[in-house]
């Protein structure tokens, strides 16, 4: 299956449940695997026939920074929803989000979500 892969996207944002976390900017590290047919782009060599990687990064960072989520699980869902809404051709998305150096004994802690187009329910605007 074709996929666009973005690794190590750094998003600086307010994130966390504790009061002290809500007072500081922390880095999150995102890895995205976006399954989308790349046949046309591989044949045409034209940007218009694929997804714009920079735009994917901008959307991902923006939704997290605007939401200032408590949980990285929620941050991942926000990114998935935004990308499915923006790109109707996306078949599935896997996202990993890591919070570096938040626990002294670990380099990072994180989560991974994978969702398919048929799992996606557009927001009703509420």
pLDDT higher than 60, residue 125? no
Query: Does 125 fall in a domain?
Result: no
Alpha helix locations (H) across 31-108?
A: 39-44, 53-67, 72-86
Give the domain range for residue 31.
Answer: 3-119
The 10s digit of each residue's pLDDT in 36-88 is 999 999 999 999 999 999 999 999 999 999 999 999 999 999 999 999 999 99
C-alpha to C-alpha distances, 106 to 41, 77, 99, 101, nearest whole angstrom: 40, 24, 10, 7
Count of the separate structural domains present in the chain: 1
pTM score over 0.85: yes
In this structure, what CATH number is given to the domain that contains residue 94? 3.30.1130.10
Q: How far apart are CA 27 and CA 122, in angstroms?
A: 28
Query: Does 124 fall in a domain?
Result: no
Query: Does 75 fall in a domain?
Result: yes
Opening angle at CA 75, ends 70 and 102, nearest 5: 55
């Amino acid at each position: 299956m074709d996929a666009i892969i973005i690794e190590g996207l750094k998003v600086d944002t307010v994130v966390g449940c504790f009061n002290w976390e809500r007072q500081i900017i922390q880095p999150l590290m995102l890895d995205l695997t976006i399954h989308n047919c790349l046949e046309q782009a591989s044949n045409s060599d034209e940007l218009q026939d694929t997804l714009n990687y920079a735009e994917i990064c901008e959307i991902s960072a923006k939704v997290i920074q605007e939401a200032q989520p408590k949980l990285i699980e929620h941050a991942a869902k926000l990114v998935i929803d935004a990308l499915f809404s923006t790109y109707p051709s996306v078949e599935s998305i896997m996202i990993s989000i890591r919070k570096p150096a938040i626990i002294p004994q670990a380099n990072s802690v994180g989560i991974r979500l994978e969702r398919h187009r048929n799992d996606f329910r557009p927001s009703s605007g509420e």
